[in-house]
Structure 1
Amino acid sequence: MPGPIRAISLRRLRAFSQTPLLLKKKGRVEREKEEEASEKSSAAVEDPFDFSTLEAGIEKSLEKLRNDLSKLRTGGRFNPEVLENLRVQLSKDSKATERLGDLAQVLPKGGRTLMVLVGETNHVKPIMSAIQGSNDLNLQPQSDAHNASQLNIPIPPPTKESRDLALVAASKAGETANVGVRNARGAMQKRLRAMELKKTVRPDDLKKAHKEMEKIVEKGGADIKKTVDGARKTMEQA
């Protein structure tokens, strides 16, 4: 091979060897599979009738409302679960706490008295301190004369002042629950608005989704009102 031609061929060969390898073009079948997967993913995200998050937010607000109302002395009666959920610090050297219900049994003794049967005698003093130290409970446990592992807790009768405070607290708990429902609605509304701006959903479907959303929110508000009204009625009749 003559010198000039050989030199040109070598330069072309070196230039070709330094060029990055081109990516292999995807086949038709592979492209169709990716498009199908993308459409499925988009459909899952952009479903205007997926109200699971909205419903979960409303249920969370209702659950908190029921829990808040259970802590009130409805009808002058004391809910033992309030005592069972009290946190007890077993050791002064540790900030760790245990649920009272995991350390003892809370049972009605008769009349307006509860008894606390403690599993281990060395837990009696910390449990007594936890009950006495709770300003929300305002209870004074007493050691049982015949059983060192038992505490007797007299439940004071309701007064007009305590009843009025409970009624106010019930109303505030309802307001908090309604705020939670409105927040859940706002999040759903924002999601539907995003679908509208991206034009990923038909306008008719968005209208239907908005109507369905309002029905769910309306039912959540009605459930809150029913729950609060029931609690207040019981308190007022005490």
Structure 2
Amino acid sequence: MSQLAISRVALRYSLHGTSRTSLRLIEAPGRILPALRFTTPQCSSHTARGFSSNPQLQKKAGKANRSHARTDSNPPVNKGVAPTPTDEAYDVSGLESQILKAIEKLTHELSQLRSGGKLNPDIVESLKVQLGTAGHGKETVRLGDIAQVVPRGRVLNVICGEEGHIKPITTAIAASPHSLTPLAPEPSNPLTIQVPLPPPTGESRRAAVESAVKAAERADKLIQQARQEHNKKLRKYDVNREVLPDDIQKAKKLMEDVVKKGHVEVKRISDGAKRVLESQ
């Protein structure tokens, strides 16, 4: 090290005192010289801490050390701890899942009635169509697999994929029990079959509302079945004395609250569907 650099260090050290533990010198651009370390006197009230890169102080952590190490980013986790009967008694996730399935099924069934029951496009797409002839072999396919049904007001437009499918699709629609009369394709749209939808009558409205009521009853029944299964589990814990009576009572109250919310949701959905059907 040059005498000039050492003189600069001595000057800075004398100005700042012994509280500074290390100094870093730059001899030339891009070159960093090792830091100089000074030891503070024993009588100093402040202990200086230095950072060392001495390989003897850096011990490589082995498997045993890593297994016992605890850091904030990787807190210890208790693995393999099974839930207690009390935990399972308060767990209503299975009950909620069954109630959700019942509500989803109700919503799907009611969606089939929103266009007046039998006039829903999904029902038309589910019709069976026979393709081919007796000499070349017949094939039965779903109408929705070979055509697309697009509702436009009180008309269903059945868009065929091939010209050869127009006749068998028309036959399938006319032969369905839904009182539909398909029209021949127009020259401007040779692959589109128009199916006018008859306006709903008082009888069809009543039938649709009755179907909505029955769908709601089925959903309520599914919810009650889910409640019975959960209650049997609680009864088992109570008989075997695996759960304290106080916890059993609290778990039953939680179960009843969940079931009540399910019935309320079923009523809300079905009442809304009935209002829509009655207004058509």
Task: Say yes or no: TM over 0.5.
Answer: yes
Which of these residues, 142, 146, 149, is aligned with residue 106 of structure 1?
A: 149
Which of these residues, 176, 180, 189, is aligned with residue 222 of structure 2?
A: 180
For 1:95 and 1:48, how far apart are their aligned partners in 2?
A: 54
Equivalent position amino acid for 1:209 in 2? A
Q: Pick the structure with greater CA Rg.
A: 2
Alpha-carbon distance change, 195 to 79 in structure 1, aligned in 2, over 3 angstroms: same
* Matches for 1:11-90 after TM superposition, within 5 Å: 40=82, 43=84, 47-74=88-115, 78-90=119-131
Cα deviation, 1:138-184, whole Å, max 9, x if unaligned, reads 32222213234211110100111111111111111111111111111
Which piece of structure 1 moves more, 119-128 or 59-68?
119-128
For 2:85 and 2:201, how far apart are their aligned partners in 1?
A: 55
- Whether 1:153 aligns to 2:205 is no
Alpha-carbon distance change, 124 to 50 in structure 1, aligned in 2, over 3 angstroms: farther
Say if 1:178 and 1:224, in contact at 8 Å, map to a contact too.
yes
Q: Any runs of at least 4 consecutive aligned residues in structure 1 with deviations exceeding 4 A, and if so which? A: 73-78, 85-96
For 2:127 and 2:86, how far apart are their aligned partners in 1?
A: 42
Gaps of 5+ in 1: 1-35
Residue in 2 that maps onto 1:14 = none
Alpha-carbon distance change, 120 to 47 in structure 1, aligned in 2, over 3 angstroms: same
Say if 2:116 and 2:208, in contact at 8 Å, map to a contact too.
no
Give the CA RMSD over aligned residues.
2.9
SS at match of 2:270: helix
Cα deviation, 1:30-68, whole Å, max 9, x if unaligned, reads xxxxxx95x61x638961122222112211211221122
SS at match of 1:60: helix
SS at match of 2:277: helix
Say if 2:99 and 2:226, in contact at 8 Å, map to a contact too.
yes
* Matches for 1:180-199 after TM superposition, within 5 Å: 180-199=222-241
Alpha-carbon distance change, 192 to 132 in structure 1, aligned in 2, over 3 angstroms: farther
Which piece of structure 1 moves more, 42-51 or 185-194?
42-51
SS at match of 1:145: coil
Equivalent position amino acid for 2:215 in 1? A
Bigger relative contact order, structure 1 or 2, given CA contacts below 8 A and separation 6+? 1
Gaps of 5+ in 2: 1-78
For 1:79 and 1:165, how far apart are their aligned partners in 2?
A: 14
Alpha-carbon distance change, 203 to 75 in structure 1, aligned in 2, over 3 angstroms: same
Say if 2:116 and 2:204, in contact at 8 Å, map to a contact too.
no
Instruction: Name the % identity.
Output: 41
Residue in 2 that maps onto 1:16 = none
What is the CA distance between 1:86 and its match in structure 2? 4.2
SS at match of 1:143: coil
Say if 1:46 and 1:200, in contact at 8 Å, map to a contact too.
no
Instruction: Name the count of aligned residue pairs.
Output: 198
For 2:118 and 2:276, how far apart are their aligned partners in 1?
A: 10
TM-score using structure 1 length:
0.71
SS at match of 2:89: coil
TM-score using structure 2 length:
0.61
More helix, by proportion: 1
